[in-house]
Chains A and B, each alone.
Chain A
Amino acid sequence: MKKKIIIILSLFIFIGLSLNGNCYCLQKESNAAGVFYKANALFKEGQYEQAKDEYESILNLGIESGNLYYNLGNAYFKLGKRGKAILNYERAKLFMPQDSDLKSNLDFTRSLLENPLVFKKQNFIVRLLEKISDYFSLDGLSVIISVLYFILFFSIAFSMLHRKGPAFFKYLINIGFILLFIFGCVGGIKFYRTQIQQYALIIRSFADCRFAPAEDAVIHFRVYEGAKVNILNKDGNWRRIKTPDAKIGWIKGAALEKIISL
């Protein structure tokens, strides 16, 4: 009897705590939505600076969304800060990679850059896998991989129990395995590119990359606003970066901003 009372009490406490957490989240989301609509109204009135501040205040609440980053990117675009605009579009892309409006705005903003980016040519398979990975968000890929994994394991279990069962399961296993392998690679690339590698955008009009992390070191090359670079390591306020055309140099940390701040 005592045991039952303890279990029921624990369940009540657990449900209570969960609801409490959910209530807190819901409250935060409702506040954020209010600020979002207010920022949209300011944007429509042409008050881009105030709209940008309101959008950014939502991020300080600790929540984010693809549309929020998209609108923030638009606000920065209207303020003439193309680097920051691209940065926020890139962040939005992590949430809604298939959004056509976002793609259009990102392409258009990039086309306005004075110094277009040059990318090192990758081999066909890497390019294909990267293209597929660009099509999905990391969460989307997690769900796809998980579903494929479930299907594959259930099919294996079923065919183990029914060896003389329908051949359909054998095909399902083969297809499931191939798809899981492909999506595993795609997911791995996506994970590596978003969670391991630290990509950043140049947010100043230009920045000098030097041979060493020092003010008086020789300038190696120059990167311009909107350039997407990979941060390799850091030394105080300096960041060692690699550009898409594989040039490496040291740049001041204030000249760039990471796409994902982990």
Chain B
Amino acid sequence: MRKILFIIFSLAILLNLQTVLRAEDLPIMLSLDTDLVEVGDAVQLSLAFDNEQEIAAPELPEIDGFKGQYLGPSTMMSIINGKASSSITHRYILIALKPGKFKIGPFSFTYNGNVYKSQAREVEIVSRGKLYGQKQQSSRNPVPAEAETKQALEDRIFLTLAVEKINAYLNERIPVTIKLYVDQLMVRDIQYPVLEGQGYVKDAFSRPRQYKEQLSNIVYDVIEFNTYMYATREGKLNLGEAALQCNLVIKDRSRRRGLDGFFDNDFFDDSFFGDVFGRSRIYPLDLKSARLTMDISALPEQNKPPEFNGAVGDFRVQVDAEPKQLKAGDPITLSSKITGDGNFDSVSNPALVSTDDFKIYNPEVKTDKEVKLFEQVIIPQSDKIKEIPVIKFAYFNPNIEDYVVIEKGPIPISVSPSDETQVKMIDASISKDIKAQATTQVLGRDIIYIKEEPGKWKEKGQFLYKNRTFVGLQFLPLILLILTFIVQRRKERLDTDLRYARKLRAPRVARMGLKKAKQYLNSNKTKEFYDIIFKTLKEYLGHRFARPSAGMTSEVVEDLIKSEGLGQDIAAKLKTCFSECDIARYAASSLKKDSMQNSLESLQEIIDYLERKKR
């Protein structure tokens, strides 16, 4: 009894102990591949979970001094002394951002109700060049020692946004410059920048420029993007921030020391070899510039000329008209070419001061870089016109902050009376009565009357190409063409490959022969029966083995069967069949209906067997 109580007591203690152990936090093995690193380099962080295989990658909290990115998991299973254990390790890459001593961890995660905790590790980040010496820096850019004070990654790659002027007018063309500064980092896959903000329109970016620029005694590699913006609202305008995406190439420290000088020469390195041999890692960067606030003024009302149509900039105008000698009613093409600097979208056609006696059409506009051409058709209505009136073009020049009016013309032209007018004059001279009659008759034009019938009705938005039957029908010719192709190929083979053709013909010959033989068997015509059996057998075998039918004797067939490796029993059956046919030819009366039936069956068997073997 005591023994039982002791066992129960021991078991209770053991179970309690297990519960206590379960309540404790489960450990995570935190490891780093190094605890000393330079700014811009990476540290690999591994978090290993024992006895787990499917635990999801924990999300890392913000780590001071580092920027993290998940690399991927690796699982491990081991069997020691027949006992299996497994673990999963999640790996992260941490980019060193600024110098100093920083603590990584402790981390705590909950999974399936279990709490996992890791220990903490300290990592020291040193300035650029301190860990591996100044060899690389000195070899590329002879930067003074003050440059070492600039340490953080944000100082080594950044974006700036600048405009030529902060105070501008509505619609004024303002150059915008976005610069990407990079200090001794490998960057690739640089995207065009995106400019945020409202109340303006901008042109597309021109081809970026690449050069070096010294800034606070540091020589940066610079990529410059240029465009123009035009404010569309007056008042305060927030421009930016400008955003740019690129990939930072980070070299693997473990191999860096030996190969440093050799592979780190190119600035915007495409890292082809680095990627292939696993010496570098890609880290996506989203760079953002500071925001700019601009002050946009409306165009002044003072001195605004009546011809002003919204053009802002500094322009020059050339005007020409062709032809200059014409008949009344003939068209003249008036060309106005506007060149200069400014917002060409806001430039409209220079206006004719007077449009009397001219029929004016809307101009055709052609825009090119820094040039806008208006080609307008004007038609003189009378032969009394001697010139195209003055053409005025007004614009606001933001440089002088005043309106400018350019005047061109008048352009002298020679207009002769039109043919139509001459005819009218001749008509008028013929008869005054007719003229009077013509003037009293009022001619005009109106629309043609409505349709009496509704025409063919159709479901709204239904077109034939959407009709399934119609679409399905279009496959028919294609199917037909494919079938024709197959038939043609087969026909060609039958024409050229005699052996194949005869092989195909063999069963048909056999079928016909057997049918006739059955008829003779039923009518008990022994001689005819065996004749057809003999004929069918020879013809079938001839076609089957692609030999002349006349030469098909039991000996020849036996040899052929042997050479094709067919069964010997079939050879025996064939021999019997041939001999029965021979007997029938000389002594037909000796063979009864049973024998005929047997012969027919054995012929059927022979043919079936040879057809099976053919396939």
Q: Fill in one digit per residue for B438-474: 1 if any A CB lies within 8 Å of its CB, else 0.
A: 0000000111111111111111110111000010011
Which residue of A70, A116, A153 is within 8 Å of B477 (Cβ)? A153
A residues in contact with B456, CB < 8 Å: 65-66
Q: How far is the CB of A261 from chain B (nearest CB, A)?
A: 8
Decide if B504 is an interface residue (CB 8 Å cutoff): no
- Surface stretch bound by A, among B236-244, B481-489, B520-528, B543-551: B481-489
A residues in contact with B488, CB < 8 Å: 160-161
Q: How far is the CB of B309 from chain A (nearest CB, A)?
A: 9
**A153-B480, A218-B310, A221-B348 as given contacts; A118 in contact with B361, CB under 8 Å:** yes
Q: How far is the CB of A93 from chain B (nearest CB, A)?
A: 13
| CB interface residues, A 209-238, toward B, < 8 Å | 210-212, 214, 216-221
Decide if B346 is an interface residue (CB 8 Å cutoff): yes
Decide if B335 is an interface residue (CB 8 Å cutoff): no
A residues in contact with B476, CB < 8 Å: 150
Q: Chain B: which residue is nearest A138 at the CB level?
A: B463
Q: Fill in one digit per residue for A52-83: 1 if any B CB lies within 8 Å of its CB, else 0.
A: 00000001001111111011001001000000
Contact B477 A218 (CB under 8 A): no
Contact A68 B454 (CB under 8 A): yes
Number of interface residues, chain B, beta carbon within 8 A: 49
- Surface stretch bound by B, among A2-10, A141-149, A164-172: A141-149
Decide if B156 is an interface residue (CB 8 Å cutoff): no
Decide if A40 is an interface residue (CB 8 Å cutoff): yes
Q: How far is the CB of A122 from chain B (nearest CB, A)?
A: 12
Per DSSP, chain A at the interface is helix
Contact A138 B481 (CB under 8 A): no
Q: How far is the CB of A32 from chain B (nearest CB, A)?
A: 6
Contact B454 A65 (CB under 8 A): yes
Decide if B171 is an interface residue (CB 8 Å cutoff): yes
Contact B361 A142 (CB under 8 A): no
Contact A32 B474 (CB under 8 A): no
Decide if A178 is an interface residue (CB 8 Å cutoff): no
Contact B362 A59 (CB under 8 A): no
CA distance in complex: A66, B455 (Å): 7
Pick from B201, B363, B451, B484 the residue with the most CB of A within 10 Å. B451
**A67-B455, A139-B464 as given contacts; A105 in contact with B448, CB under 8 Å:** yes
Task: List residues of B whose CB falls within 8 A of some A CB.
Answer: 170-171, 199, 201, 230, 232-233, 310, 345-346, 348, 361-365, 445-461, 463-465, 470, 473-474, 476-478, 480-481, 484-485, 487-488, 491
Given A67-B454, A105-B447, 9 more pairs with CB closer than 8 A: A32-B457, A40-B450, A63-B457, A108-B445, A121-B364, A152-B477, A154-B477, A157-B477, A161-B487
Task: List residues of A whose CB falls within 8 A of some B CB.
Answer: 25, 28-29, 32-33, 36, 40, 43, 59, 62-68, 70-71, 74, 77, 95-96, 101, 104-105, 108-109, 115-118, 120-121, 138-139, 142-143, 146, 149-150, 152-154, 156-157, 160-161, 191, 195, 210-212, 214, 216-221, 245-247, 260-262
